[in-house]
Amino acid sequence: MTAAVENNRNRGGRILCWAGAVALLLTLPVPASAQYFGRNKVQYENREFKVLTTRNWDIYFYPEVYSEENSAIEDIARLSERWYERLSRFFQHDFAITKPLIIYADHPDFQQTNTLSGAIGQGTGGVTESLKDRVIMPLTVSYQETNNVLGHELVHAFQYDITKSRSYGGIMRLAGLPLWVVEGMAEYLSLGREHPHTAMWNRDHLYRDEKPTHAERTRNPK
């Protein structure tokens, strides 16, 4: 009888210890990284955006993008309409409504955007959202590069707008297309058949015998 009582006491003591440990863990402060989860990325400056509406785009910008000395937003408006005319003829398709085009002054500002979740890498030139129909991109170091990135992203805007229509099966139909078709079309239509940068990548892959397989080109975003 005495041994049984002693065992019950030991078991009860262990339960109390475990309960105390759990209670202590619940009262500990949550790490800063865990508290940050789900919140917007750090923004160093607040931007007051204005809207320039053209025939087919609602262009969002802030003072650093446009001033009396800097007419970049006027260039973007002209280039975006020029791309629309080209791509509209190519795809034989027109938008039913204007689409948002959000422009940042440079890549560091672009990386602070709260229109996109998650971190934006240095290699990301722009993003086109399939569900919200938004094109988000920064100005680049050169006029030509900005025009190329803009053209690339606007090809995606047309791809998404076309596939979201009922006659083409909705946006999930686009998810079934190979990545080399979606991205390859955007590169081809924005850069042309021949481009030094593209040729450099191809030569490097062949030289290193690292040419991606068909499966990798189909699904691997890298």
82-130 pLDDT per residue, tens = 999 999 999 999 999 999 999 999 999 999 898 888 888 888 999 999 8
Residue-wise pLDDT tens digits, 172-194: 777 777 888 888 899 989 988 66
Residue-wise pLDDT tens digits, 8-48: 445 555 544 444 443 433 333 333 333 344 455 666 677 88
Would you say residue 72 lies in a domain? yes
Would you say residue 1 lies in a domain? no
User: Which segment, 3-7, 137-141, 198-202, is predicted with the most confidence on average?
Assistant: 137-141
Residue-wise pLDDT tens digits, 189-221: 998 866 666 666 566 766 777 767 766 666 665
CATH number at residue 149: 3.40.30.160
Percentage of the residues of the chain whose pLDDT score is greater than 70: 64
Would you say residue 39 lies in a domain? no
Structural domain total, the chain: 1
Look-up of token digits 């680049």: 140
Q: In what order do the strands lie in the sheet with 135-138?
A: 50-53, 57-61, 99-104, 135-138, 127-128
Name the band, by pLDDT with cuts 50, 70 and 90, for residue 147. Answer: very high
* In contact, 100 and 60? CB cutoff 8 Å: yes
* In contact, 198 and 183? CB cutoff 8 Å: no
Q: Which domain holds residue 169?
A: 50-177
Percentage of the residues of the chain whose pLDDT score is greater than 90: 41
Would you say residue 44 lies in a domain? no
Question: Is residue 51 classed as helix, strand or coil in its secondary structure?
Answer: strand
* In contact, 132 and 126? CB cutoff 8 Å: no
Nearest Cα neighbor of 57 from 106, 91, 103 is: 103
pLDDT of residue 97: 95
Asked whether the predicted pLDDT for residue 2 surpasses 60, the reply is: no
Separation between Cα atoms, residue 103 and residue 73, nearest integer Å = 8
DSSP-derived secondary structure letter, 167? G
